[in-house]
Structure formats: C-alpha cells, structure tokens
Amino acid sequence: MDNEKFKQLLQKAGLTNKKLAEMLGITPQSVNNWSVKGYPYWLETWLQNYIKAKTLDNVKDVICSDESAPIGERDG
C-alpha cells in the first residue's frame, strides 16, 4: 500500500493517524513512520474491514431506530 492509498482509506474510515494509533495500541509516531518504513501488510485489509463494519453499524442504527418507532410514525 502506498501513502496515497493509506490517506484515502484513513479518510474514508473517518480516522486520523492519532485515532488509528489509539485503536491499535501504538504511538502516533509509529503510524507516521509507516510512510517512510512501509505500511504493515495487514493494514489495508484492516482499514477496509473497519470501513465495512462502520457502514454496517450505521445501516443497523437506521433500521433499528426506524423499527422502534410506532408504525404510524415510521418513515416511508
């Protein structure tokens, strides 16, 4: 994965280098160093899975909040 792909995935995930570092339990400097030393082989798929999970959580929230409303008050 190159630096541009990393930036795109990070933005799509809604993460910053600092937030990613917190989630992975590493320092932000370690994340910054990847642009020089190379990105871990697993990072691209990790970010793609994070994005998918976040999307599914958002869909679930929309569906569940809609179903919890009384029938007459549901959208659609």
Output the domain CATH number for residue 44.
1.10.260
pLDDT on residue 59: 87
The total domain count for the chain is 1
The DSSP secondary-structure symbol of 75 reads: -
Q: What distance in Å separates the CA atoms of residue 24 and residue 11, rounded to the nearest whole number?
A: 17
Domain enclosing residue 55, as ranges: 3-73
CA separation (Å) from 73 to 3, 68, 70?
Answer: 47, 10, 5
Provide the residue-wise pLDDT of the chain in tens; the chain has 76 residues: 999 999 999 999 999 999 999 999 999 999 999 999 999 999 999 999 999 999 998 888 888 875 555 555 555 5
User: 27: which 2 tokens?
Assistant: 């320092």
**Which pLDDT score is estimated for 66?**
58
Distance CA 53, CA 43 (A): 15
What per-residue confidence (pLDDT) applies to 65? Answer: 75
